[in-house]
């Protein structure tokens, strides 16, 4: 049995009260809250808040779940809400969900509340807790990782937005016997959020990079190296920029913008993908806008990215280049990669043709 009030990890979980109505309205009416929890009433007014206190929250408890206000233990002011929904009685399986008021975000409230409620749920007999996050909800994904949840996959079109468009959700799961502590990440954050050698700077892709990245990836010489070799539309590039944080947290890929360190202008893009995590192998790629070429920036970029990859545990890096792309091959050689061979017909070409690829590799032990 989960208690009516829980105090742990610097927060308080308690029943929601009439005095919470103003903060409930402000928090649940916030655009970010409504964006990621579309089932909330819209508009969320005082009547909605009172209904939740008198009917909604008690109904969750009656159905075998639980619902709490997250409160500051010193002032008792509302900081958000959290609860469990019973998914399967026979499997002792529950879904955990939460929201945080705008003025309390960035303080670890969601992480603390999720840990506190998860501990009580497992102590009361839960075997499995599932947390669903929107693909673009980076703070919620970070909270899941911090609480020891593991990414199990993507539930396609599992959430319906207010406009009727359906969105994928990421499923994060923690079991009662999972080890304590945060979930280890294949791709940690960059130190200080960026890598730089004073000439080029690398940082994670951001939504504001979409226009420059679309320009880059629609250049004919860049399209020729895409899989398949067709120009992307702007929406697919914008989506890539929006989801870069989630893919990074999942350990799938580190997708980065290349900046001129002096001006901060985006001059290209690069990425590192863990294609064989079990063997410690990753692959990288890069491209520059025309105005940035011929200045050695690509070589600097590869050196920076490779150095970081080896620092975070990658054992082997490889990269490919079309046979005719001599410039890219020279970049790799200057960055310490060795030519390892030719893969015949590795890349899809135009009209069903196949293109050969020259393969280069570098080991962590090659760094010096």
**Quick one: pLDDT at residue 1?**
61
Query: 45-104 pLDDT, tens per residue?
Result: 999 999 999 999 999 999 999 999 999 999 999 999 999 998 877 788 999 999 999 999
Instruction: Give the distance from CA 30 to its chain's centroid.
Output: 22
CA–CA gap between residue 163 and residue 353 (Å, rounded): 42
**Within the chain, which residues score under 50 in pLDDT?**
none
**Quick one: pLDDT at residue 146?**
97
CA–CA gap between residue 52 and residue 46 (Å, rounded): 10
CA distances to 35, 104, 306 from 52, rounded to whole Å, are 19, 21, 52
- In the DSSP assignment, the letter for residue 139 is H
Query: 251-264 pLDDT, tens per residue?
Result: 999 999 999 999 99
Nearest alpha-carbon partner for 69 in 112, 99, 47: 99
For residue 313 the two structure tokens come to 């545990």
Instruction: Give the distance from CA 354 to its chain's centroid.
Output: 33
Helix boundaries (H) for the chain: 21-28, 31-36, 46-51, 57-62, 109-123, 138-146, 210-217, 220-223, 234-250, 297-311, 326-334
CA–CA gap between residue 358 and residue 174 (Å, rounded): 43
Residue with the two structure tokens 């892709």: 205
- In the DSSP assignment, the letter for residue 66 is E
In the chain, the domains with their CATH numbers are 6-175 (3.40.630.30), 191-366 (3.40.630.30)
């Amino acid at each position: 049995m989960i208690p009516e009030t829980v105090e742990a990890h610097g927060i308080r979980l308690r029943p929601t009260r009439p005095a919470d109505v103003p903060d409930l309205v402000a928090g649940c009416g916030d655009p970010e809250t409504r964006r990621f929890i579309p089932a909330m009433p819209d508009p969320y007014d005082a009547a909605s808040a009172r209904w939740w206190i008198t009917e909604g929250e008690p109904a969750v408890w009656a159905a075998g779940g639980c619902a709490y206000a997250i409160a500051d233990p010193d002032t008792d002011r509302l900081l958000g809400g959290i609860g469990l929904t019973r998914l399967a009685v026979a499997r002792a399986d529950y879904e955990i969900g939460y929201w945080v008021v705008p003025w309390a975000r960035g303080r670890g409230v969601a992480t603390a509340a999720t840990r506190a409620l998860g501990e009580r749920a497992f102590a009361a007999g839960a075997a499995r807790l599932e947390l669903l996050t929107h693909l673009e909800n980076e703070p919620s994904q970070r909270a899941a990782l911090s609480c020891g949840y593991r990414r199990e996959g993507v539930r396609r079109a599992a959430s319906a937005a207010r406009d009727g468009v359906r969105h994928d959700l990421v499923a994060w799961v923690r079991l009662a016997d999972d080890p304590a502590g945060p979930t280890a990440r294949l791709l940690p954050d960059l130190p200080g959020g960026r890598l730089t050698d004073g000439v080029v700077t690398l940082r994670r892709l951001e939504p504001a990079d979409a226009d420059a990245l679309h320009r880059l990836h629609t250049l004919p010489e860049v399209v020729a190296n895409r899989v398949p070799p067709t120009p992307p539309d702007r929406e697919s590039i914008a989506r890539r920029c929006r989801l870069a944080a989630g893919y990074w947290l999942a350990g799938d890929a580190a997708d980065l913008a290349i900046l001129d360190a002096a001006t901060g202008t985006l001059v290209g893009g690069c990425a590192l993908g863990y294609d064989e995590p079990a063997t410690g192998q990753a692959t990288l790629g890069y491209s520059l806008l025309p105005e940035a070429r011929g200045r050695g920036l690509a070589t600097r970029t590869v050196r920076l990215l490779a150095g970081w990859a080896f620092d975070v545990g990658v054992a082997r890096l490889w990269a490919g280049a079309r046979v005719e792309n001599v410039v890219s091959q020279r970049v790799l050689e200057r960055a310490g990669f060795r030519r390892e061979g030719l893969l015949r017909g590795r890349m899809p070409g135009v009209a069903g043709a196949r293109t050969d690829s020259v393969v280069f590799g570098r080991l962590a032990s090659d760094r010096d």
